[in-house]
């Protein structure tokens, strides 16, 4: 090799090293804080009938919730987080579609589901696109664990609605204890009834962790919908003993159930860590509605109202979003958001385009949580639950109760809805009433009447 060839060879080596260094720099930059990685895992955790003020990060003091508190600490906590209905099934319909469920008639729970007709007709309409459908088209493995409450017939079941795997029960409530010998369990895996030996909250935590472990090497979407802390108040003896200092028996049982829920969430979060994928997993945690204080001993402090009402205590819920390096940790976000936003946010994170043939009411929260978009996510939020109606715009909330009474509150000054401004701010009330009427005109007739076993409404 002559001198010229040596120089050319060394020049090529230097150029190659520089190019490799440049590529490495680009790759490192693409994984830096703030740069969205491709196809993050999506985990949506839903509690059932949780009291607004019962978790440690929500101000609760008598029931330790270390795992949920850790999740909140590592998340942005949305202090004005809502669901689209104050009861279970409609909230789930809205969450999974990103649409106000009243647009497609899924306005109410279906009742006790004792009639064959009700079992055949009740369910999330098959014309709706679910978040599982969305993400599956983007190459995601999809799983559902826990309470379904979106239909009993074959066409409504999770495996027909975009989920590759499912484990749980189909109705609105279920015992937490194993079925007695010779009795049906009511627990299904991919549509087939199975026997379950574990306390149900533990079983859902086990199944959620197992799904994550199986799919850790490919992007996944897991909808983990606990029935805790919904009745019946079935408890584990060791948990009940732990809270023996709580004198009220109902509250004591609730504490035991909430502690089990916290442990199950901890197990799932630990599996993300163990699989080394927590950094690339977008996690949402909400409750499906406010706590029914008289039913399970929950507390919605400092809110007024309970489950099944459109007071804040029925629709305002703990709402946290974790995505390490993408969504700020240990922060609060104070603009009103709603569970409908999970659909659009998860779709955006996964690179999935929103359906263009229908109204999607949810918005992508990620730019708002990151501070990239300083505008409000929603000009207004709406609720219609039969005769109960409400609209929130900015800090003002106008609501109409079953008896026809109307009230106006400034939630920035009166989170407990104690000081009615209907007369003093009549101009604001009139504006909000007009905006609600415009929204209401877009909605469908309910597919079944409230609590009548699923028969079609007149």
SS3 of residue 326 by DSSP? coil
H/E stretch holding 11: helix 3-30
pLDDT at 64 over 70: yes
Q: What is the pLDDT, as a whole number, of residue 119?
A: 66
| Residue owning tokens 């009139």 | 430
Q: What is the pLDDT, as a whole number, of residue 117?
A: 63
Cα gap 131→46, rounded to integer Å = 15
pLDDT, one tens digit per residue, over 227-272 is 999 999 999 999 999 999 999 999 999 999 999 999 999 999 999 9
Q: Where residue 135 falls among pLDDT bands split at 50, 70, 90?
A: very high
Q: What is the pLDDT, as a whole number, of residue 36?
A: 56
Cα gap 278→322, rounded to integer Å = 9
- Which residues on neighbouring strands pair with residue 399, listed in sequence order? 390, 407
Q: Where residue 35 falls among pLDDT bands split at 50, 70, 90?
A: low
Token pair, residue 411, equals 């939630």
pLDDT at 29 over 50: no
Q: What is the mean pLDDT of the chain?
A: 91
pLDDT, one tens digit per residue, over 67-86 is 999 999 999 999 999 999 99
Task: Looking at 359-456, list the stretches that DSSP marks H as alpha helix, in order from N- to C-terminal side.
Answer: 366-370, 426-440
pLDDT, one tens digit per residue, over 365-398 is 999 999 999 999 999 999 999 999 999 999 999 9
- Which residues on neighbouring strands pair with residue 77, listed in sequence order? 320, 332
pLDDT at 52 over 90: yes
pLDDT at 220 over 80: yes
Domains contained in the chain, CATH given: 41-370 (3.40.720.10), 381-440 (3.30.1120.10)
What is the reported pTM?
Answer: 0.91
Q: 294: burial class by Cβ within 10 Å (0-12, 13-18, 19+)?
A: exposed
Q: What is the pLDDT, as a whole number, of residue 116?
A: 61
- Comparing 45 with 454, the larger pLDDT belongs to 45
Cα gap 283→270, rounded to integer Å = 13
The region of weakest confidence among 22-36, 345-359, 435-449 is 22-36
Catalytic residue numbers, as ranges? 88, 149
Q: What is the pLDDT, as a whole number, of residue 182?
A: 84
Cis peptide before 28 (omega within 30 of 0): no
H/E stretch holding 397: strand 396-400
pLDDT, one tens digit per residue, over 327-339 is 999 999 999 999 9
The region of weakest confidence among 108-122, 125-139, 199-213, 340-354 is 108-122
pLDDT, one tens digit per residue, over 91-122 is 999 999 999 999 999 999 986 544 566 667 89
């Amino acid at each position: 090799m002559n001198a010229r060839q040596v120089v050319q060879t060394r020049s090529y080596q230097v150029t190659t090293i520089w190019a490799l260094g440049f590529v490495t720099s680009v790759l490192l930059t693409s994984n830096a804080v703030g740069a969205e990685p491709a196809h993050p895992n999506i985990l949506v955790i839903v509690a059932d009938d949780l009291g607004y003020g019962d978790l440690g990060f929500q101000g609760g003091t008598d029931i330790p919730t270390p795992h949920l508190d850790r999740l909140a600490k590592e998340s942005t906590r949305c202090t004005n987080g809502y669901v689209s209905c104050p009861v279970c099934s409609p909230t789930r319909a809205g969450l999974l579609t990103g649409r106000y469920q009243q647009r497609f008639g899924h306005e109410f729970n279906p009742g006790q589901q004792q009639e064959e007709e009700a079992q055949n007709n009740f369910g999330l309409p098959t014309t709706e696109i679910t978040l599982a459908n969305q993400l599956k088209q983007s190459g995601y493995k999809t799983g559902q664990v826990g309470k379904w409450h979106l239909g009993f017939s074959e066409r409504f079941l999770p495996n027909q609605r975009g989920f590759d795997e499912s484990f749980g029960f189909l109705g609105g409530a279920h015992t937490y204890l194993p079925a007695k010998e010779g009795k049906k369990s009511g627990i299904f895996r991919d549509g087939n009834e199975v026997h379950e030996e574990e306390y149900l909250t533990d079983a859902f935590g086990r199944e959620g962790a197992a799904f994550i472990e199986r799919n850790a090497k490919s992007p996944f979407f897991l909808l983990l919908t606990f029935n805790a802390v919904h009745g019946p108040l079935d408890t584990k003896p060791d948990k009940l003993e732990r809270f023996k200092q709580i004198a009220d028996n109902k509250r004591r049982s609730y504490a035991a159930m909430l502690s089990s829920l916290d442990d199950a969430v901890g197990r799932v979060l630990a599996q993300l860590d163990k699989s080394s994928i927590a950094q690339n997993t977008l996690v949402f945690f909400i409750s499906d509605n406010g706590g029914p204080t008289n039913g399970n001993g929950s507390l919605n402090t400092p809110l007024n109202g309970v489950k099944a009402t459109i007071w804040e205590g029925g629709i305002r819920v703990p709402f946290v979003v974790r995505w390490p390096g993408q969504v700020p940790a240990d922060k609060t976000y104070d603009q009103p958001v709603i569970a409908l936003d999970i659909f659009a946010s998860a779709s955006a994170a996964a690179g999935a385009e929103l359906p263009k043939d229908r109204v999607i009411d949810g918005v992508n929260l990620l730019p708002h949580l990151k501070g990239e978009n300083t505008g409000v996510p929603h000009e207004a939020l709406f609720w219609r639950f039969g005769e109960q109606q409400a609209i929130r715009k900015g800090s003002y909330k106008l609501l109409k109760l079953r008896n026809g009474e109307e009230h106006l509150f400034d939630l920035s000054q009166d989170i407990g809805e104690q000081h009615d401004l209907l007369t003093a701010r009549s101009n604001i009330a009139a504006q909000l009433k007009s905006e609600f009427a415009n929204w209401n005109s877009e909605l469908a007739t309910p597919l079944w009447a409230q609590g009548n076993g699923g028969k079609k409404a007149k």
